[in-house]
Structure 1
Amino acid sequence: MGVSRRAFLTALGRVGGYGAVFTAMQALGLLAVSPAYAGPPDLPAGSGRGIKVAVLGGGVAGLVSALELRKAGYEVTVLEALDRPGGRSWTIRGGDTVRQLGRPDQVVDWTREPNHYFNAGPGRIPQSHHAVLACCRDLGVPLEVMVNANRAAKLDFNGQVVTNGQATNDTRGAFSELLAKAIDRRALDRELTGVDRERLMAYLSAYGALDRNKTYAGSDRAQFSTHPGAYLQAPVNAPPLRLSDMAQARFWGVSLLFEEFADMQATMLQPVGGMDRIAFALYERVKPAVRLGCRIQAIRRAGPGARIVYTEGGAERVLEADHVICTLPLPVLAKIPSDFSPPVKAAVADGARGYFSGTKVAFETRRFWEQDDFQFGGLGWTDEINETVWYPSGGLSEKTGILVGAYSIGFSSPDAPGKFAALPFEERFETCRRVIEKFHPGRGRELARPVTVCWAQTEFAEAAAVGWQEAQRAGAYALLCKPDGPFLFAGEHMSYLNAWQEGAVLSAHEAIKLIRAQVAA
């Protein structure tokens, strides 16, 4: 009996987590890679004169919408519930207060240095995300390299801690040895001609660092037991990891595949000083149109246009508009009384159920990973429920910095995010300290002044990002791609680049195109 793609992906998720599912979906053609960027929609100057647009949400999608529409003369009003722009593009610094639903407030008492920041939301920009990079260029936001992968960073699975370089290259060597033995035993004669067999054997010897006996006995690509030095200090390769140990430790999960994902391949980038530099640069361009601290109470129709009821400073207010771009996350939008058509209401509710959360923890500390271990940037991976240790790429060689001790979003197990989010703050912090102590013995006690953010516990977000299922793309998602009278939808959830700012920017462009078409009609 055949197995459906959905059943296959569900089973794969139980075994390999989010990363395995992500890779499989790309291979099956269910996740699109960013096409070449064509630029923002062409709106003739003055074409929006006299036309009012309400933008609900002051995140990246809302701010980009406002920027492009205002260029063409539209009268735009952005309503944002928070006291800052950016939405989930949120960077935390010393002096900030972090509020979480049902949890105590956290006052961040970090040193106020330029590189002492914590990206609670997005933290990297792939070089394939041309729309966001174009925004940075046009807005004058300086970028720097974000070290997404580092062979010196540690992996911790099943209690065994090794470097990424050792796990990667010992895996490559072990697989190459197995394939070479199969070729030697003529197991692939039906697939290979004599010449092809010789060429493949030569390649495997180089690719897997095999010796003359076609055996992998370790490699200087993986790990040294004695590092090369001066005079008589010759290098000695460390004994390779055994294939059986690597299989038991699950080293072949997302940690060894991560930098092969289409959106994770070098070179990765980040704004200098924090990811919110993009949102604030957009905000400065459209500031007169943005009203912070405005909570949406109802979204109503008013003839061919719309009427938005909201509160500001405790007072109820009404905004009339010809068009409305809704950029609110669907779990938030679904709770607001609206005059969306019944099918659109059902689509919003359907999409809202598919969101996933994520939890991060950050510490201020001495940069011991650089000063003691000479590791600069990258990600450390563990099968404990904090999942990831994220080392900073900015401020290299400074005395202190911000170390992200957890990014629990389902990389290693679909159960990890829920378990980690449910922990009291102190237990989250202790989990991170325990893992970092394994990576850097004696240094876990140096981690100070922790801060944590769980997106399921963050007001006006309630989740990290959407996770559309294949069937939803043809149903609820497709419906939200169309205007519902004066209402249009944008945000990362209105793209095939979910959880990325690129999706937010491109969806804003698509919503603007729909307004342009409505105005022309």
Structure 2
Amino acid sequence: VGGRNHTIRSGDVITEQSQEHGVTEQVCHFEDDPEIYLNAGPGRIPYHHRRLIHYCNILSVELENYVMNTTANLFQSDRSFGAEPQSYRQIKNDTQGYIAEMLAKCVDKGALDEELDLDERQALLSLLKKWGMLGKGKDCFKYEYYGSTNSGCRYPPSVYQQCEPPPPIPFSDLLQSRFWNNRFYQPDQYEWQPTLFQPKYGMDMIIKGFERALQDKVSIQISSPVTEINVLVNSVLVQYDSHEGPQTIEADYVISSIPLPILSKISNNFTPDFSEAVDQARLAPTCKVGWQSYERFWEGQKYQIYGGISWIDNIITQVWYPSNNYFADIGVLTGLYNFGQRAIDFGRMSLQERLLVAKSGIRKLQPEFGIESIVPTDLGLSIAWQNVHFQQGGWVNWDPISAADAAAYERLLQPEVGNRFYVVGDQVSSLPGWQEGAIMSAEHVVESIAGFKRRKRIQPIIQAPDSRSITGSD
């Protein structure tokens, strides 16, 4: 129950199936502690996802802050900075400083005299000095960037030592690094702006909340794969396999959250236009790796990282530091989160190779990950969602410039002919890859069945959702 809302704890088993390695299983060997877990699927809830937060409230799912970004997080690339990790704050502030310096000099030399009047030019120069932290000491009137204490202190402050800015990173090094191509500015995008939340003790607390609320009202059958769907005039026949053998159930309505590419492979009698729309959807590959560490060294004096994400130009792509249980001895972090070709390549590796490759990458950020006594390899685990049976990916990869995707998305917002069979989930919402999208879609379908809204669209769909941008996998 829960689909991709999947939290992994001690003793849980991850089963995958791939052409390269057949059926594989991993057993989670994390410490048996409610604070020790890996959110293998969704990991955060934006403050503006009001539907999901509403259900967390009425289901008594306790939320805590999820930290998307701290300025102590790191960026690393083998092709820049001598392969040494740099702090997020220094890259961001030094880049702002150099851009402000150049623009201020352009204004000062009259390059924008035609665009701005005198008062506007003076206001812009004042803004650039503040935003770019230009000038220093006796040269405070100059439009020069010398570095900034916004990037931290070069030496630890004491009663004898005031905070001095670290030497700025040369602008040429910043440009050579192409740091902005590694999702560096993702925390500024709407879906990831603070405040964000996570359920205390794991994302599947939401699923458990729904189960508690519905346990006396509905029957939930698991391990019952659907084998055939037949839409009739006044009902829908669904055939499925169970432990007791093949079964058939007839329902007035069917609301299907089956991933569309899997639905397309199930025997059905859909009309051609509906079937074509279902067939159009593609699932995005995505992988995660979880590490249990016996020391939360990233919170210590050397790094001082409490939550947030470090970014790396490497197959591991991202490292998520835990936003819970600060100052404890043990912690679990997400040591890889990737998509696209990186996820395809990673998913084809053996389980052991995945962990070795993931550890090799994360050591570039923090060498402590290479110390077996701190981060044992056998306490790592991975999941390639494209290899998970009945899921086969992380989200539907709609393309906003595809006319075929727009037509399919538009068609799937409406039921199959007869108004008895509906598709639901984040896959048919403006928020693919987000739980809010799934609830949004369910709300749309339930209101349609109940007659609260017209089944015909109010406005035509111009384009399909931009899945890559919305999920941060672009």
> Which TM-score bucket, shorter chain as reference?
0.7 to 0.9
**Aligned counterpart in structure 2 of residue 258 of structure 1, from 186, 191, 204:** 186
Structure 1 residue 440: Cα displacement: 2.1
> Which shows bigger deviation, 170-179 or 282-291?
282-291
> What SS does the corresponding residue of 2:72 show, helix, strand or coil?
coil
Of 209, 212, 215, 2:144 maps to 215
Amino acid at match of 2:177: A
Q: Which amino acid aligns with 1:478?
A: E
Q: Judging changes above 3 Å, is the alpha-carbon distance between structure 1 residues 246 and 399 closer, same or farther for their aligned structure 2 residues?
A: same
Q: Is the 8 A contact 1:491 1:503 kept in 2?
A: yes
CA distance in 2, matches of 1:254, 1:494: 28
The structural deviation recorded for 1:425 is: 2.4
Q: Structure 2 vs 1, CA of residues 458 and 263 (structure 1 numbering), >3 Å: closer, same or farther?
A: same
Instruction: Name the counterpart of 1:51.
Output: none
User: Hey, what does 2:205 align to over in structure 1?
Assistant: 277
Once residues 469 and 204 of structure 1 are traced to their aligned partners in structure 2, the CA distance between those partners, rounded to angstroms, is 38
Determine the structure 1 residue equivalent to 2:466: none
CA shift in 2, pair 1:488/1:194, >3 Å:
same
**Are 1:224 and 2:153 an aligned pair?**
yes
2:436 pairs with 1:436: no
Cross-structure match for 2:116: 192
Alignment of 1:289-328 (within 5 A): 289-328=219-258
Aligned to 1:20: none
Deviation at 1:519, TM superposition (A): 12
The aligned residue for residue 5 of structure 2 is 89
| Contact map agreement 1:246 1:252 (CA 8 A) in 2 | no
Q: 1:99 to 1:200 in 2, by over 3 A?
A: same
Q: 1:458 aligns with which of 370, 388, 409?
A: 388
Determine the C-alpha separation between the residues in 2 that align with 1:392 and 1:499. 21
2:341 aligned with 1:415: yes
Alpha-carbon distance between aligned partners in 2 of 1:239 and 1:223, rounded to the nearest angstrom: 10
Partner of 1:121: 41
Which of residues 396, 406, 413 is equivalent to 1:481? 413
User: For the residues of structure 2 that align with 1:283 and 1:335, how far apart are their CA atoms?
Assistant: 29
Please give the secondary structure, in 1, of the residue aligned with 2:446: helix
| Conserved 8 A contact 2:280-2:405 | no
The equivalent residue for 1:367 is: 296
Question: For the Cα contact (< 8 Å) 1:368–1:443, is it kept in 2?
Answer: no
Match for residue 126 of structure 2?
A: 202
Instruction: Check whether the contact 2:97–2:132 (CA below 8 A) recurs between aligned residues.
Output: yes
CA distance in 2, matches of 1:290, 1:307: 18
- When residues 403 and 520 of structure 1 are mapped into structure 2, their CA distance, relative to the original with a 3 A threshold, is closer
Residue 243 in 1 paired to residue 171 in 2? yes
Q: Which moved more, 1:452-461 or 1:180-189?
A: 180-189
**Structure-2 change in CA distance of 1:164 and 1:103 (3 Å):** farther
**1:52-110, CA deviations, whole angstroms, 9 ceiling, x for partnerless residues?**
xxxxxxxxxxxxxxxxxxxxxxxxxxxxxxxxx10010000001011111352101111
Give CA deviations for 1:437-470 in whole Å, capped at 9, x if unaligned.
2222334222221110111011110010012122
CA-CA distance at 1:387 after TM superposition: 0.1
Deviates more, 1:256-265 or 1:491-500: 256-265
Specify the alignment match of 2:308 in structure 1.
378
Q: Give the distance between the partners of 1:424 and 1:246, measured in 2 at CA.
A: 36
With over 3 angstroms needed to count, the CA separation of the structure-2 counterparts of 1:479 and 1:519, relative to structure 1, is closer
CA distance in 2, matches of 1:134, 1:407: 28
CA distance in 2, matches of 1:228, 1:520: 65
Instruction: Describe the shift of the 1:100–1:200 C-alpha distance in structure 2 as closer, same or farther (beyond 3 A).
Output: same
In the TM superposition, residue 479 of structure 1 has moved relative to its aligned partner by: 0.5
Give percent identity, aligned residues only.
Answer: 32
**Cα distance change on mapping 1:519 and 1:192 into 2, 3 Å:** closer
Q: Deviations over 1:492-513 (max 9, x none)?
A: 0110001000000010011111
Aligned residue number for residue 163 of structure 1: 87
- Alpha-carbon distance between aligned partners in 2 of 1:214 and 1:303, rounded to the nearest angstrom: 75
Structure 1 residue 182 displacement after superposition: 1.1
* Superposed displacement of residue 223, structure 1: 3.4
Equivalent residue pairs, number: 430
Deviations 1:216-241, CA, capped at 9 Å, x for gaps: 11101113221222x21222211111
Q: What letter matches 1:227 in structure 2? A: P
Aligned partner letter, 1:369: W
TM, length-normalised to structure 1: 0.80
Helix, strand or coil for the counterpart of 1:404? Answer: strand
1:368-398 Cα offsets, whole Å, 9 max, x none, are: 1113532110101001011000101011111
Q: Given residue 464 of structure 1, which amino acid in structure 2 is its aligned partner?
A: G
Q: Distance in 1 between matches of 2:393 and 2:299?
A: 33
Alpha carbon RMSD of aligned pairs, Å? 1.8
Q: Give a deviation string over 1:293-322, Cα, whole Å, max 9, x none.
A: 111010112342110000111511011011
Q: How far apart in 2 are the matches of 1:126 and 1:476?
A: 28
Tell me the amino acid that sits aligned with residue 239 of structure 1: P
Please tell me the residue identity of whatever aligns with 2:127.
Answer: Y
Structure 1: segments with no counterpart, 5+ residues: 1-84
- Structure 2, gaps ≥5 residues long: 136-140, 456-474
